[in-house]
Amino acid sequence: MRSRDRRSAQRISLNEWESIDNIILTDYRRFILIRGNQAIFGQSLSSLADLKKPKSQIPESKIDEFLQLTDTFFDYREPKTRSADILQEELSKSIADLTKSILWAKYLVILTYLKLQCQELMFFKLSALSSN
């Protein structure tokens, strides 16, 4: 893949996460904490050269930095929404999710009912066969 294609593919995939206010992006070596579309904390646990060494270890200072990054991530509190448009959008998403959940619950109830009916029918058929 050409460099330009790779960059545009990364841009497209990053745009999917644009609406999330608090996220950590990682390739399992580097970690970037992003808040409000801005990188506020970046850290690399090791270099590529270190990974090629047979017995590489992560320095204690890097572990401390990583723990600071995770603490910062988990200490995040989502700001209260004040805009009516944003509240309406969030509520409509919640209602859509709730509607899906209700539909799935109805579906499961119907399947359970049908399963019980089939079991009952099989029981009567087996009872009729065994009585003959």
Burial of 70 (0-12, 13-18, 19+ CB in 10 A): middle
- According to the model, what pLDDT value does residue 1 have? 47
**36-78 residue pLDDT tens:** 778 888 888 888 888 788 887 888 888 888 889 899 989 988 7
* Boundaries of every domain in the chain: 3-74, 85-132
Phi, psi of 77 (to 5 degrees): -120, 125
Mean pLDDT across the chain: 78
CA–CA dist 70, 31 (Å, integer): 10
